[in-house]
Amino acid sequence: MWILIATVGNLAARAAWPGYAEVEAAMKFTPEMMMCRLVVGALSSLGAGWLAARITNQNSGAIYALAGILLVAFAPVHYGLWEKFPLWYHAVFFASLAVMTVLGARLNGRKVQNRVVAG
């Protein structure tokens, strides 16, 4: 779900924002473009958390595991991009992975169940 939402959001940014596609390959985004990317990432995490909660019947262990998996998966990506973006961008992105995933899970309107995922 995270990748699907991020892909659709990125395609929309390319189509709607003149100049976005031209700077994307070099990662020379304006601050406004970086904010757009952060919003897309936050929405992706929100959607992924929502779906994880739906699939697991609000299992908190699964939801927190998803947030952890996202953090681990994006760490090497952002390490490689470290010099292309300011520190605030990386900080906001990583915070949004955890916070928005859990928030997305809570949007189902049901209480998150405090149980551990069976291994």
Q: pLDDT tens digit string along 29-87? A: 999 999 999 999 999 999 999 999 999 999 999 999 999 999 999 999 999 999 999 99
Residue 1 DSSP label: -
Question: d(Cα 34, Cα 85) in Å, to the nearest integer?
Answer: 8
| Residue range 1-28: mean pLDDT, rounded | 95
The pTM for the full model equals: 0.86
Scan for tokens 């992924």, then name that residue: 48
Q: CA torsion 1→84→80→105, rounded to 10°?
A: -20
| Residue range 87-116: mean pLDDT, rounded | 85
Per-residue confidence (pLDDT) for residue 108, from 0 to 100: 78
3-state secondary structure of 71: helix
Per-residue confidence (pLDDT) for residue 111, from 0 to 100: 57
Q: What is the mean pLDDT of the chain?
A: 92
Instruction: Give the burial string for 74-84 (b: 16+ CB within 10 Å, else e).
Output: beeeeeeeeee
